[in-house]
Structures are given as C-alpha cells and as structure tokens.
C-alpha cells in the first residue's frame, strides 16, 4: 500500500510541474527591454567619459538606443491583458488532465493488467535463478492463454520447446501431440514429438518414438533428427553395424558446417570402438601368442580409453571387465570395477549389473 501511495505522489508532482503553467495568467512585459536599453545608455555615457569612444560616436549610439528604448516603453504600456476566458480554458484543461490521466491509467490497468494476482514473496524471488525468471514468466503467460484457448495450435507449438528446456518431458509430449492434432502433420512436428518421447523415456527410443521418427522420414527422407535416432534405436537393439551404417551415410552427405555432425561422429565412434566381446577374446586363443596379445590388448586399450571419457556405457564396462579376466589380468579387472562403480554411482540399476558380474566372475 505504501508503494501505491508513493507512486501516486510522484505522479501528482510530475503532473503539477507540467500542468501548472497552463493555469497561470500570462504576465505582461515587465519592462525588461526598457531596463536593458537604459543600462546601455549609461554604459555609452561611461565609455564617452572614459575616452573609449569619440563624442560623435557616442551621440550616434545614444540616438539609436534612445529610439529602441522609446519603442520598448510604448510596447510595454500598450500590451493587452490576456482574455479571462482564455485563462479559464487553460485552467480547465489542466484540471481535466490532472483528473483524467490517472483515472484513465487505472482503468487501462484494471482491464489489461492482473491486479488480482498475489505478489511473489521476496525470498521466493531470490531463490529463483535469474536466467529462469523470464522462461517461467513465458510459461505462465502461454499456459494461461492455452487454458482460455485450448484449440490454439500455435500456442501449443510455442509451449512445447519451453517444456523441453525445463525438463518437463511429459508435458512436452502432450504439447507436441496437441500441436500435431491442431496444426497437422509434417516431418518436423513428427520428429519433435518422437524426440520428446525419447526424453520422457530417459533416452530410450520406444516403439512410439520410433514410429514417429519413421513417419517423419516418410514425409522427409532427409530429416536429420529422425535419421540419427533411427540409428540410436538400432544401437539399442544391438544392431551396431546397422547404426554405424546409418551414421556413416549421414556424415558423407553432411554439409561442411553442419552442427550436428559432431554428435553423429561421437555416436559412430561409440559403436565402432566398443572393444572386444568375450567371444572375440576367446577366439584369439588360436592365434600365435604375440599376434593374439597385440590384437586383444589393442582392443581392450581402445575400450578402456573410451570408457575413461564416457563412463555411462554399462555394456562397455561389462565387456572391459570380462576381457581383463580372460587375459588373466585380475588386478586390472578389479580396478575397472572400481572405476565403473564410480562412473555409474548415480544409476542403481547399472550398479546392480556390475555387482552381478563381479559375483559371477568371482572377482
């Protein structure tokens, strides 16, 4: 309430400063020109007495200034007073502006603003990250609009990527579906829906997501996002060669400045340098010792190097531990188990798989 009172006082002060002159009567000439010309006559006399100008020049200057002094005096005496009606019109305009401006501003705010919304506590505002305040404001505005206009396809389309950025993946899926329903199907909307489904499933390309990606590719065979995730689906199904083939084809046709190329290269490296399986290591037993050792250790070293950079690959850790055990390097297998547990500390399911392997191999 104090804030409103202070703002009202500031508004009134500013308005009075602007409007007060309208209510004043125009002052008649106060003889300022007359005083100036009289000072000039005195100055001419002082200059003549001091020898700064000759008598002839002084006389000529005195005549000119006297003429101007006479004209100014006549003008000051004959200047008309402002008409009373004109003064009252200005005063009426000032009073009207003083009353109507704040009333009009209050009316507009009540119509277009939200005075009924409660203020957010100061502590809550401090806890809200600065970079998220504008996003949250946008979400609130668009959600309120969507609630009033549930058939606004454009609104759903605007809201969906904001949900994705905030990690509200289930809401993003809903918004993507509504956008498709109201705006129609195209490759971009289908792939966006599929991406939201993948995010909601913690990175797994579900059957629904894969179907949406395939619909997008039917509409646009060059849709980059869909091609990439179809490769991810193949990798998750264990078809690594198929995934690698998809991603190699993408890289061959990629523009030189394609921002997505780095992601595709990383995925391709993941499936092509995954290290040896237990069967690979066992098959190497028939090779000459030196050749076998070089092949196996090269593959194991490549796998270990990759896991040092990307420790989230549970399958890679399992293969690495098994490979060390096949090579008879129990100490390295135990060290790999420690590293795996550290890298997967936030994923209980993957940790259970590591513990199961340790029990199985008797490490």
How far, CA to CA in Å, does 54 sit from each of 46, 63, 285? 12, 14, 128
Residue 44 resides in a domain: yes
Report yes or no: 216 and 193 within 8 Å, Cβ to Cβ: no
pTM equals 0.44
Sign of CA dihedral 105, 139, 184, 249: positive
For the CA atoms of 209, 210, 213, 219, the dihedral, rounded to the nearest 10 degrees, stands at: -120
Q: Is residue 336 part of a domain?
A: yes
Task: Name the nearest CA neighbour of 266 among 310, 301, 227, 316.
Answer: 310
Q: Which residues form the domain of 339?
A: 278-361
| pLDDT tier at 130, thresholds 50, 70, 90 | very low
- Residue 199 pLDDT > 70: yes
Per-residue pLDDT at 265: 86
The most confident of 104-108, 121-125, 136-140, 276-280, by mean pLDDT: 136-140
Q: What is the pLDDT of residue 323?
A: 83
DSSP state of 117: S
190 inside domain: no
Which of 209, 237, 272 is the last residue before a domain boundary? 272
Same structural domain for residues 294 and 323? yes
* Angle of the 348-361 helix axis to the 314-326 helix axis, nearest 10: 10
- What integer best gives the mean pLDDT of the chain? 77
- In this structure, the answer to whether residues 6 and 88 fall within a common structural domain is yes
DSSP 114: -
Given a cut of 60, whether residue 90 has pLDDT beyond it is: yes
Query: Band of the pLDDT at 313, cuts 50, 70, 90?
Result: confident
- Whether residues 106 and 7 share a domain: the answer is yes
- Spatial neighbors of 225 by CB under 8 A, at least 6 apart, are 191, 195, 213, 216
Above 50 in pLDDT, residue 122? no
CA distance 339 to 305: 12
Q: Is residue 55 part of a domain?
A: yes
Residue 310 DSSP symbol: -
Question: In sequence order, what are the residues at sequence separation of 6 or more whose Cβ sits closer than 8 angstroms to the Cβ of residue 300?
Answer: 275, 276, 320, 323, 324, 327
* Mean pLDDT to the nearest integer, 150-157: 88
- Cβ of 150: how many Cβ atoms within 10 Å? 11
Residues 6+ positions from 44 with CB-CB distance below 8 Å: 53, 58, 61, 62, 65
Chosen domain end from 217, 239, 272: 272
Residues 354, 333: contact at Cβ < 8 Å? no
**Same structural domain, 331 and 297:** yes
Other C-beta atoms closer than 10 Å to the C-beta of 167 total 9
168 and 90 belong to one structural domain: no
7 plus 105 within the same structural domain: yes
Q: What is the pLDDT of residue 283?
A: 53
Across the range 257-281, mean pLDDT stands at: 73
Q: Does 266 lie in the same domain as 286?
A: no
Q: Is 189 among the domain residues?
A: no
pLDDT score at 269:
76
In this prediction, what percent of the chain has a pLDDT beyond 70?
65
Same domain, 168 and 253: no
Asked if residue 323 is part of any domain, the answer here is: yes
Cα torsion angle, 65, 67, 69, 71, sign: negative
Q: Are residues 35 and 106 in the same domain?
A: yes
In angstroms, the Cα distances linking 310 to 9, 14, 304 are: 63, 64, 10
Q: Judge whether 298 lies within some domain.
A: yes
- The reported pLDDT for the residue numbered 21 is 62
Number of separate domains in the chain:
4
As a whole number of angstroms, the distance between CA 85 and CA 82 comes to 8
pLDDT at 58: 72
Going 41 to 46 to 52 to 56, the CA torsion angle's sign is positive
The percentage of the chain sitting over the pLDDT mark of 90, rounded to a whole number, equals 25
Same domain, residue pair 267 and 206: yes
Query: Residue 225 has what pLDDT?
Result: 96
Q: What is the pLDDT of residue 328?
A: 84
More confident residue, 43 or 104: 43
Average pLDDT over residues 68-83: 61
Query: Where does the pLDDT of residue 132 fall: very low under 50, low under 70, confident under 90, or very high at 90 and above?
Result: very low
Same domain, 249 and 209: yes
CATH number of the CATH domain containing 145: 1.25.40.10
As a whole number, mean pLDDT of residues 31-44 equals: 72
Domain stop point among 156, 184, 212: 184
Determine the average pLDDT of the residues in 165-191.
93
Looking at the fold, whether 10 and 101 belong to one and the same domain comes out as: yes
Show contacts of 17-21: CB within 8 Å, 24+ apart.
19/94, 19/97, 19/98, 20/94
Q: Kindly state whether residue 159 falls inside one of the protein's structural domains.
A: yes
Q: What is the CATH number of the domain that holds 319?
A: 1.25.40
């Amino acid at each position: 309430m104090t804030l409103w009172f202070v703002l009202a006082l500031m508004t009134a002060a500013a308005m009075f400063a602007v409007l007060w002159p309208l209510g004043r009567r125009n002052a008649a000439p106060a003889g300022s020109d007359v005083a100036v010309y009289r000072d000039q006559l005195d100055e001419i006399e002082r200059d003549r007495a001091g020898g700064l100008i000759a008598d002839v020049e002084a006389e000529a200057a005195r005549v000119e200034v006297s003429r101007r002094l006479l004209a100014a005096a006549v003008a000051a005496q004959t200047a008309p007073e402002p008409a009373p009606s004109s003064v009252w019109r200005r005063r009426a305009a000032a009073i009207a502006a003083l009353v109507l401006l704040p009333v009009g501003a209050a009316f507009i705010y009540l119509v277009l603003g939200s005075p009924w919304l409660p203020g957010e506590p100061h502590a809550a505002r401090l806890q809200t990250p600065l970079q998220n305040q504008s996003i949250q404001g946008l979400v609130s505005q668009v959600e309120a609009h969507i609630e009033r206009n549930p058939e606004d396809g454009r609104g759903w389309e605007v809201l969906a990527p904001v949900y994705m950025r905030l990690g509200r993946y289930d809401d993003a899926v809903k918004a993507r579906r509504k956008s498709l329903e109201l705006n129609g199907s195209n490759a971009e909307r289908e792939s966006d829906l599929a991406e939201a489904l993948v995010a909601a499933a913690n990175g797994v390309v579900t059957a629904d997501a894969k179907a949406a990606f395939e619909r997008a590719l039917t509409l646009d065979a060059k849709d980059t996002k869909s091609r990439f995730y179809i490769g991810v689906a193949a990798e998750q199904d264990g078809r690594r060669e198929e995934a690698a083939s998809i991603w190699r084809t993408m890289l061959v046709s990629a523009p030189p400045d394609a921002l997505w190329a780095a992601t595709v290269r990383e995925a391709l490296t993941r499936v092509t340098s995954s290290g040896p399986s237990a069967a690979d290591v066992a098959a190497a037993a028939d090779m000459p010792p030196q050749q076998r050792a070089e092949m196996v250790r090269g593959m194991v070293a490549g796998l270990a190097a990759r896991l040092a950079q990307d420790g989230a690959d549970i399958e890679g850790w399992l293969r690495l531990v098994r490979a060390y055990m096949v090579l008879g390097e129990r100490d390295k297998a135990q060290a790999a188990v420690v590293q795996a547990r550290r890298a997967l500390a936030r994923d209980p399911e993957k940790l259970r798989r590591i513990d199961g392997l340790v029990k199985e191999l008797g490490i």
